[in-house]
Amino acid sequence: MIDLKEIKEIVQETKKEALEEQDILIYTLHKILDKIENNYIPDEVAKIVSEELKIPLSKVYEVLTFYTMFSTKPRGKYIIRVCTSLPCHVVNGREIIQAIKEELKIDFGQTTNDGLFTLEESSCLGLCGVSPVIMINQDYFGDLTPEKVKEILRKIKGGEKI
């Protein structure tokens, strides 16, 4: 369950970092997202943000739907961001994507039935020194091979810390 009181506190806390009144929306949404298990911003939370920051709800939704790191629908516990840009594409990125799709039996934009993983396409993650690269939540994984990436996913499924 989402503790709405805690959300309000996060908004108030983040407000202190503002240099100008209107510079804090995206930053606040990031901080809230870190606290929500399913990696999304539910309606009731968006409303609180709108009220506390005095920003129209429509503007909050403009932001939530424009940026790929945000979502208005529940996502998996782990978000897998796969780089599909050229520096990863030319070093067998295609095979990595294939391996993940096979292992999780989902396509881009989908979540596994157990609610564990959401697979997302990402532009360059800025780790081209070790491409092909993926991110799982806040962790990076580089120099991947299909076997390596499958092993990482199996470990997470088995409840191992990564």
Site residues for other proteins per CB under 8 A: 17-20, 22-27, 29-30, 55, 59, 62-63, 66-70, 81, 84-87, 89-91, 121-131, 135, 138
Residue 1 CB, nearest approach to other proteins (Å): 25
- Taking the complex as a whole, how short is the minimal distance between the CB of residue 140 and other proteins, in angstroms? 9
Instruction: Give yes or no for a contact between 46 and 60, defined as CB atoms under 8 angstroms apart.
Output: yes
State which residue, 38 or 85, has the beta carbon closest to other proteins: 85
Minimum separation from the CB atom of position 55 to other proteins (A) = 7
Distances (CA, A) of 101 to 44, 104, 149: 33, 5, 11
Report, in Å, the least distance between residue 113 CB and other proteins.
Answer: 25
Q: Which is nearer to other proteins, 84 or 111 (CB)?
A: 84
Q: Which DSSP string do the residues of 51-64 spell out, in sequence order?
A: HHHT--HHHHHHHH
CA distance 52 to 109: 31
Instruction: Compare residues 23 and 43 and give the one whose CB is closer to other proteins.
Output: 23
Nearer to other proteins, 40 or 157 (CB): 40
- Beta-strand (E) ranges in the chain? 78-83, 117-122, 134-136, 139-141
| Cβ atoms of residues 141 and 152 within 8 Å | yes
Nearest approach in angstroms of CB 120 to other proteins is: 9
Of the two residues 66 and 160, which places its CB atom closer to other proteins in the complex?
A: 66
Contact yes or no for 81/71 (Cβ under 8 A): no
